[in-house]
Amino acid sequence: MCVLSLDAVKAAIQQRARALGFDACGVTTATPPSSAEHFRRWLETGQHGEMAYLERTVGKRSDPRQILSGVKSIITLAVNYLASETDRGSGLAGASVPQPPSATGFIARYARYADYHKTLATPLQALAQFVLELGGQGTRSIWCVDTGPVLERDLAQRAGVGFVGKHTNLIRRDLGNWFFLAEILTTLELEPDPPEHNRCGTCRRCLDACPTGAITAPFRLDARLCLSYLTLELKGPIPLELRPALGPRVFGCDDCLAACPWNRFARTGHLLQDYLRPDLNSPDLPALLILDDAEFDRRFGQTPLARIKRRGLLRNVAVALGNVGDEHVLPLLQRAARDPLPLVAEHAQWAIRQIESRRTSQPGRDAPGPGR
């Protein structure tokens, strides 16, 4: 079948992908992405921070042929994770981020589901098996979601799935930027789709929206300043000068994504709807601060938050309460300041100082009364 009509084989794969719930499916070749050299220079300048796994896999990321011998095609898939069109972003960053005084935290939209690495495995395996059946004997394929050693955004742009925006995330005209990417690498030769072209124009809303200036220039991100990096990838203390910028965020940051004007065309996703976790929309910060290991595992063990473990979540929660909490949370922070984990204790101590500083600086607070 493959020899007779490459177009027919690709059309069958794309039809099967849609039937499985994927929102987009594009095909590109397995030649190294043109951005590979830029990626290497980015690593050399240390802007990836502590993400050492990027360095360890730089060869495979720069050349998909090192991942699967004989690979000829890469099938790129998009999965929409927008839970509601009312939350697609108005173009104003942080629109859904609560402001002080509040004890409500913020979790990035993509993480308000059961772990997508696991939930997307079933449809991906089914599609990969379909590809093998079409290719016949000798065909080999592997699939990956997010954690695979591929420059997935660059390959997705080359496959016509979307274009890399100035915030370095992928944008699709009918989905905005609220979607996951997944790939199937295969030895089956398929007709590549035409690449998508950048459509940011003169817009710079994402750059202006970034709370820390992590998007240092169009298409350039210093991960060490990114709030998503600080709350997810950084394992140690959050730099003091960056803690106030976290606001109430405890996992990720959507500001640059929410600012994108292409979101006005975004629509509600369907494949992941059964895996929504409404309890992650506006988590109660004080309740999170008292979690023990068992309760953390029970609540978050099957979600993306499991990645940062209890120590990482409590670190982030302490910072969030230091930014948006008031004197009512001081007893809980004082308890956390005695946590046996130094990382948690130090951030709780910082939060206490922040709240105390706000209390003493409020007009009329602790002012001498009559007879004093």
Three-state DSSP state, 214: coil
Query: Which residues are identified as catalytic?
Result: 146
Q: Which residues of 286-296 are buried (b: 16+ CB within 10 A; e: fewer)?
A: bebbebeeeeb
Are 317 and 348 spatial neighbours (Cβ–Cβ below 8 Å)? no
- Each residue's pLDDT tens digit in the chain (372 positions)? 445 477 899 999 999 999 999 999 999 999 999 999 999 999 999 999 999 999 999 999 999 999 999 999 999 999 999 998 877 764 334 444 555 456 899 999 999 999 999 999 999 999 999 999 999 888 999 999 988 899 999 999 999 999 999 999 999 999 999 999 999 999 999 999 999 999 999 999 999 999 999 999 999 999 999 999 999 999 999 999 999 999 999 999 999 999 999 999 999 999 999 999 999 999 999 999 999 999 999 999 999 999 999 999 999 999 999 999 999 999 999 999 999 999 999 999 999 999 999 988 876 554 433 332
Distance between start and end Cα atoms, the chain: 93
Neighbours of 70 (CB within 10 A): 11
| CA 139/CA 159 separation, integer angstroms | 21
